[in-house]
Amino acid sequence: MASTPPASITERLDAINEFDREPVSEDALQGPGNFIGLYAGEHVAGTEFVIGPLFVAHGVAAGDLFLGLLVGNLLAVLSWAFICAPIATRTRLNLYWKLRKIAGPNLLFVYNLVNAAMFCFLAGSMISVAATAVGIPFDMTMPGLDDFYPNSVGWVVTVLLVGSVVTVLAILGFEKIAYFSKIAAPWMFLVFVACGVAVLPQLGVTSLGDFWTVANEKIWTGEPLSGRIRFTFWHVMFFAWFANMAMHIGMADMTILRYAKKWHYGFASAFGMYLGHYIAWVASGILVALALQNASEVAPGPIAYLGAGVAGLVAVLLAGWTTANPTIYRAGLAMQTITPNWKRWKMTLAVGMITTMAALFPALMMRLLDFVALYGLLLMPMGAVIFADFWLLPKLGLRQDYAEWKQLLFSLPAALAWLLTLGACLLLNLVWDVEIFFLGLPGWFIATGLYVALSVAQQRRVPVPQSSTPTTDFLSEEIT
């Protein structure tokens, strides 16, 4: 039997994304309700059971937490609305195709690999979260906040079990689980609220007037746990802003917002931020404060049980599972470019195994704040490249989508902007001790500046005709 010659990387990537090649058509555009539901569901997830407690562990003060979350989440919403959505609604393309035009297919391949690796680790932390719920009936020794390696045979067995089930279900049907996730979302948000409210009397809050005193004295005390740096208003604000850096200024949500009728549907992200990244983080922080007061275990499963009993355990399990499932699926899609002849199920199985191995290390869950910051930082520069290519290059008389026009496989300005930005961020971290939570902002400006400067150098060498891509004034009109 004759064998098919191996396809190039470009052909493999394009085959996977073939369906999304064309801009979204007019009749496929969606109203604001879809985006409100989508953002509200996506940001009330398993990670929320970990992030709220980690703020408590880092000794943030109550005032800093409430104000930092208010401002940081507002900045995140503005980033979606003013940076990601306008480009998404003008191009109607997903991140893959837009980046392919700018960066060339070979650089996009590298980006996909980095993205897939990050997805694997993210899904791994979610499997860890789910395992803390499954282990409770079996009296499993829970990992502590400072555990790096697996701490018991029970933990290893539970993670392997949960990881296997999640992987098999991801293989059997992504769409059904995505639908189940949609059903679970409103219930899960209410579980967070209920958990937080129900345990307040055990912390000494018997009336609304008591809350602020107890919040300062027993929950967000300003005193970090041993081995943790103290978080200030700025840590909270920047973390809230950049928790989804890859999605807004990193432009990954072009994939979603390209379906929006209007650019201002980007403001729908407020429902995800203020329900998930405000109320749910506050609620899970309250839960861990009770666990610390009782000297009991602080893992997501045990603290949810403190708040809601069996329903809390189910919520942790579902939150971890429904977040891990699409993440494994996305990682599988990105990885498929390496092994094009593998069936989708085989690729999902391989990704599930890598993810489960990562989940064995509780550090992934207990150091989630650092990991989330790193994840966003690694991918953000390419979002800045898209921003600069779309808005700034035409103003300078340069051509947009240069790699596509010149039929380049690899855009040097985009690659150097990416690498040099990460190098500059590393330098800021190592030499000037700028913590990882604060690197996104200077990093974005560095990436934008580098890409513009390098594009000038590239395109001025050989004069090129003006771009034929239509661009309008900022926020004034949309190409629909």
Nearer to another protein, 252 or 384 (CB): 252
Residue 474 in contact with another protein, rule: CB under 8 A: no
**Dihedral over Cα of 374, 376, 379, 383: its sign:** negative
Nearer to another protein, 181 or 459 (CB): 181
Contact 86, 17 (CB under 8 A): no
Give the one residue of 6, 21, 28, 477 binding another protein; rule: CB under 8 A. Answer: 28
Q: Is 394 exposed, middle or buried (0-12, 13-18, 19+ CB in 10 A)?
A: middle
How many whole angstroms separate alpha carbon 253 and alpha carbon 96? 11
Judged by CB under 8 A, the stretch of 95-103, 220-228, 274-282, 304-312 that binds another protein is 304-312
Least distance (Å) between residue 185 CB and another protein: 10
Least distance (Å) between residue 5 CB and another protein: 36
Judged by CB under 8 A, the stretch of 173-181, 381-389, 448-456, 463-471 that binds another protein is 173-181
Cβ atoms within 10 A of the Cβ of 254, count?
A: 25
Judged by CB under 8 A, the stretch of 5-13, 121-129, 197-205, 340-348 that binds another protein is 197-205
Residue 363 in contact with another protein, rule: CB under 8 A: no
Q: How far apart are the first and last CA of the chain?
A: 48
The set of residues, in sequence order, having a beta carbon less than 8 Å from that of 443 and lying 6+ positions away, is 377, 380, 381, 384, 421, 422, 424, 425
Give the one residue of 12, 13, 17, 38 binding another protein; rule: CB under 8 A. Answer: 38
How many whole angstroms separate alpha carbon 376 and alpha carbon 453? 24
Residue 225 in contact with another protein, rule: CB under 8 A: no
Task: Return the amino acid letter for 29.
Answer: L
Judged by CB under 8 A, the stretch of 11-19, 48-56, 289-297, 306-314 that binds another protein is 306-314
Contact 383, 99 (CB under 8 A): no
Residue 177 in contact with another protein, rule: CB under 8 A: no
Contact 260, 80 (CB under 8 A): no
Per the listing, tokens 């701490």 go with 151
Per the DSSP assignment, residues forming a β-bridge with 221 are: 61
Give the one residue of 70, 114, 117, 178 binding another protein; rule: CB under 8 A. Answer: 178
Angle at alpha carbon of residue 384, lines to 383 and 386, rounded to 5°:
65
Give the one residue of 109, 241, 259, 263 binding another protein; rule: CB under 8 A. Answer: 259
Residue 308 in contact with another protein, rule: CB under 8 A: yes
Helix, strand, coil tally for the chain in percent (to 5):
70, 0, 25
Q: Which residues of 311-321 are buried (b: 16+ CB within 10 A; e: fewer)?
A: bbbbbbbbbbb
Least distance (Å) between residue 177 CB and another protein: 11
**Which letter does DSSP use for residue 23 in this model?**
P
Contact 235, 58 (CB under 8 A): yes
Residue 314 in contact with another protein, rule: CB under 8 A: yes
Residue 34 in contact with another protein, rule: CB under 8 A: yes
Residue 175 in contact with another protein, rule: CB under 8 A: yes
Contact 311, 38 (CB under 8 A): no
Give the one residue of 179, 212, 445, 474 binding another protein; rule: CB under 8 A. Answer: 179
Residue 170 in contact with another protein, rule: CB under 8 A: no
Give the one residue of 144, 309, 423, 470 binding another protein; rule: CB under 8 A. Answer: 309
Task: Return the amino acid letter for 318.
Answer: L
Judged by CB under 8 A, the stretch of 174-182, 390-398, 432-440, 467-475 that binds another protein is 174-182
Residue 195 in contact with another protein, rule: CB under 8 A: yes
Nearer to another protein, 20 or 435 (CB): 20
Q: Count residues binding another protein (CB under 8 A).
A: 33
Residue 201 in contact with another protein, rule: CB under 8 A: yes
Q: Which residues bind another protein (CB under 8 A)?
A: 28, 30, 34-35, 38, 175, 178-179, 182-184, 186-187, 190-191, 193-198, 200-201, 205-206, 256, 259, 308-312, 314
